[in-house]
Amino acid sequence: MNLQNQKMTELPVIDGLKRKKNNQKSLLHKGMIPYLLLLPAFIYYAVFWLTPVLSGIVQIFTDKNGNFNLIENFRLMIQADLFDKAIMNTALFAAVSVIIQYFLALLLAVLLSRKFKGSKLLMFIAMIPMAITPTAVAILWKTGLVKEGWVNTILMSLHLIKEPIVFLNAEGIAAVFLIILIDTWTVMPSVMIILSAGLQGMQKELKEAAYTFGANKWRIFKDITLPILKPSIITSVILRLIAAIQVWAIAVMVLGYNKAPFLVERIAFYVEIVPGVETSKMLTFTLSFTTTLIVFITTVIYLRFSKRKTKHGGDY
Amino acid sequence: MDKLNIIQKTVIAIVLSAMVLSVIVPLLFFFSVAFSSDVEMSRFPKPLFPTFALTIKVAPAENNQYEIFYDNGEGYRSILTTGNPSKLETHFKRQYGVTVPGEKLLEDFSKTRINGPMEFTYPKNLFFNFNQFFAIVNNSLPALKNSVIVALYTILISLTIGSLAGYAMARFTFKFKELINVTLLIVRMFPVVGISVPMAVLLIKFGLFDTLIGLALLYSIPNIALTAWVTSSIFIGINKELEEASLIFGANSLQTFMRITMPLAFPALAASSMYAFLTAWNDTISALILTNRNQTLALVVYKAIGTTSSGIQYAAAGSIILILPALVFTFIVRKYVNQMWGGVEL
């Protein structure tokens, strides 16, 4: 073997040789196999992911005359109508919806983790909203939230209100909370499933041992259940945050454009309502770049904050 | 060990039934709306279950005309007086979702000349709102076809490329493996809007803008990475001796992969194909950015709602068409997905 002549890229051949000392002949080209298998994915991502991402970055630093400009597009974006509100609403929505959804999901997951008659059926029912397309969820809730809709029907038949409420006139914070409510209805089950999976992996012996040593239920929950759930919680919170930052369809379909501005709602607004205008093209680029940046910063901060890097793959 | 007392049991029962009600009740009302006729839409309070028949009261009027009364929950009110069969037919169709020929209606009503004012009951055409959705919403039928095709393309691309990569990640040790793993994570987490806008420019260059394959190319981006992960975690679990046995018996690597490994990895492929399907089926923002005429069903339903709330029952019917395939697909591959989630039993 003349290893000196091997190029850097062929180094894995050595790895392959180390792993299997017998059958050396076939292993020489076997070292290339992982790269061949990864090649389609590599080409795909080079063409359809890296190219658009890079060209997108070039775009946001190019002004309308085609010249390089570091801040012009960001200035445009910040000065655009409702941008400040969109940022505030997105932050509010992401934070509050994730907190509410985790509180409810954890409660339900712990309750459903006990095996009792009908717990499977309950889990099945809880999963239904998860399988409903977001667009359909928005229409479902719009039929409820119109003045003569079923939400008012329920509230009035329970004697909680005397006159129908006009939900769709909600503005500002109220509008955001309306969207949070709808989002929670849809998303909570999927969070619950992830937490349930984590709970089912928990060994019963641990709990029993804690009991024997005199721990009460709260201690067991705090010191055994939560730490075991932590990996599932961290992974699913990240996925939730990423999705929450991109909320838009429900807001637009239920309330209409401009009523509850969000970052992605602004992008859709410029694409759908004011297309063809040069500034709206620049704004969509800059907004989508900003959204991506916010997603990344949030993820990184969250990972730092939770002090435990999730292992990619495996547990999600 | 931890027996529950009666209070704890009651609390759990209350919480769980609240959960069940909050899922089921909105869905029931929604179905009820999707099957509601135009007159029922203005009804308040809303019924929990849809009605399947219409009851009206008819009184004879002068000049061979009939006066029609409808009970909107507050007693019978005069709605229309006519003797024109086509006018009657249209009125019954539009307002009540009843598709009965005008001549037949007149024939029925003629009994009132002898008996005086009478009540008539007609069965509602349950598919009326669904037909209306396809009739009045532009492009809705082609959009349904487009959605299916885009979803199939997405599954095909993600599974082929993703499972190859997943196999490489699970079975081989090589340089840059960690780097590739992190890249897959980033691609998977990358917000879809972040890529859609510049992707539009790229697709225009390739002549793929506003095409189904162009959309599928975008939807495959997160799903190739996802498939790679899901399959690699399964490939690691597959007994390696089986593969080696196959190699010893003279099959080459590709044959081993296709005949031994792939069938064993089926649950992972089923789960990945579900995610790929749902990405393509549920998306609206990318379809909004990347298409003009070749819209998908989710986008068409999104646009159907418009800015007003009139005709929302047609949009509701459209969303039921949108929900059904996703529900069916989700529940077909459910058990495989549950394996992926660590065996949550259902």
Of residues B177 and A18, the one with the higher pLDDT is B177
d(CA A246, CA A262): 8
The yes-or-no verdict on residue B50 having pLDDT over 60 is yes
Query: How sure is the predictor about A29, in pLDDT bands with cuts at 50, 70 and 90?
Result: low
* Coil, strand or helix at B35: coil
- Show residues of chain A in contact with B315, CB under 8 Å: 139
> What is the predicted pLDDT for the residue at A229?
81
Q: Which two tokens stand for residue A259?
A: 């009523």
Residue of B nearest to A267 (CA): B193
Mean pLDDT of chain B: 87
Q: Judge if ipTM > 0.90.
A: no
Residue of B nearest to A145 (CA): B309
> What is the predicted pLDDT for the residue at B337?
65
Contact A49 B315 (CB under 8 A): no
Q: Which two tokens stand for residue A25?
A: 């002949």
Comparing CA positions, the residue from B285, B138, B22, B217 lying closest to residue A134 is B285
Specify the amino acid at residue B337: V
Q: Hey, is the C-beta of B26 within 8 angstroms of any chain A C-beta?
A: yes
> What is the predicted pLDDT for the residue at A30?
65
Query: How sure is the predictor about B340, in pLDDT bands with cuts at 50, 70 and 90?
Result: low
- Show residues of chain B in contact with A15, CB under 8 Å: 173-175
The yes-or-no verdict on residue B225 having pLDDT over 90 is yes
Roughly what angle, to the nearest 10 degrees, separates helices B128-136 and B140-171?
A: 90
Query: How sure is the predictor about B338, in pLDDT bands with cuts at 50, 70 and 90?
Result: low
Measured distance between the N- and C-terminal CA atoms of chain B, rounded to whole angstroms = 25
> What is the predicted pLDDT for the residue at B121?
92
Q: Hey, is the C-beta of B311 within 8 angstroms of any chain A C-beta?
A: no
Q: For residue B67, give how far its alpha carbon lies from the nearest alpha carbon of chain A (Å).
A: 28
- Cβ distance A198 to A232 under 8 Å? yes
Contact A35 B165 (CB under 8 A): no
> What is the predicted pLDDT for the residue at B139?
86
> What is the predicted pLDDT for the residue at B30?
95
The yes-or-no verdict on residue A99 having pLDDT over 80 is yes
Query: How sure is the predictor about B331, in pLDDT bands with cuts at 50, 70 and 90?
Result: confident
Of residues A193 and A34, the one with the higher pLDDT is A34
Radius of gyration over every alpha carbon of chain A, rounded to an integer in angstroms: 26
Q: Which two tokens stand for residue B128?
A: 């009326």
What's the whole-number mean pLDDT along residues A305-311?
Answer: 58
From A193-207, A236-250, B212-226, B280-294, the region with the lowest mean pLDDT: A193-207
- Show residues of chain B in contact with A107, CB under 8 Å: 15
| Pairing relationship of beta strands B76-82 and B118-123 according to DSSP bridges | unpaired
- Cβ distance A50 to B183 under 8 Å? no
Return phi, psi of residue B55, to 5°. Answer: -120, 125
d(CA A278, CA A198): 49
Alpha helix positions (H), chain A:
12-19, 24-30, 33-45, 51-60, 72-79, 83-113, 119-127, 134-145, 150-157, 172-200, 204-212, 217-220, 226-245, 249-255, 263-272, 278-305
Residue of B nearest to A45 (CA): B221
Q: Hey, is the C-beta of B224 within 8 angstroms of any chain A C-beta?
A: yes
A-contacting residues of B 102-141, CB under 8 Å?
none
The yes-or-no verdict on residue A150 having pLDDT over 80 is yes
Q: For residue A61, give how far its alpha carbon lies from the nearest alpha carbon of chain B (Å).
A: 13
Q: Which two tokens stand for residue A66?
A: 């085609």
Q: Express each pLDDT in B268-308 by its tens digit.
A: 888 889 889 989 999 999 999 999 999 999 999 998 886 55
CB atoms within 10 A of CB B166: 33
Q: For residue A108, give how far its alpha carbon lies from the nearest alpha carbon of chain B (Å).
A: 8
What's the whole-number mean pLDDT along residues A42-69?
Answer: 91
Q: Express each pLDDT in B99-151 by its tens digit.
A: 999 999 999 999 998 988 999 999 999 999 999 899 888 889 999 999 999 99
CB atoms within 10 A of CB A291: 24
d(CA B220, CA B277): 10
Helices (H) and strands (E) in chain B, counts: 18, 4
Cα angle A277, A281, A284; round to 5 = 135
The yes-or-no verdict on residue A171 having pLDDT over 60 is yes
**Cα four-point dihedral sign B243, B249, B253, B254:** negative
Q: For residue B122, give how far its alpha carbon lies from the nearest alpha carbon of chain A (Å).
A: 25
Q: Is A25 exposed, middle or buried (0-12, 13-18, 19+ CB in 10 A)?
A: exposed
Return phi, psi of residue B209, to 5°. Answer: -65, 140
> What is the predicted pLDDT for the residue at A14?
45
Q: For residue A138, give how far its alpha carbon lies from the nearest alpha carbon of chain B (Å).
A: 9
> What is the predicted pLDDT for the residue at B79?
87
> What is the predicted pLDDT for the residue at B208?
94
Q: What is the dihedral of CA B54, B317, A267, B214, to 10 degrees?
A: -160
Comparing CA positions, the residue from A272, A247, A271 lying closest to residue A260 is A247
Query: How sure is the predictor about A21, in pLDDT bands with cuts at 50, 70 and 90?
Result: very low
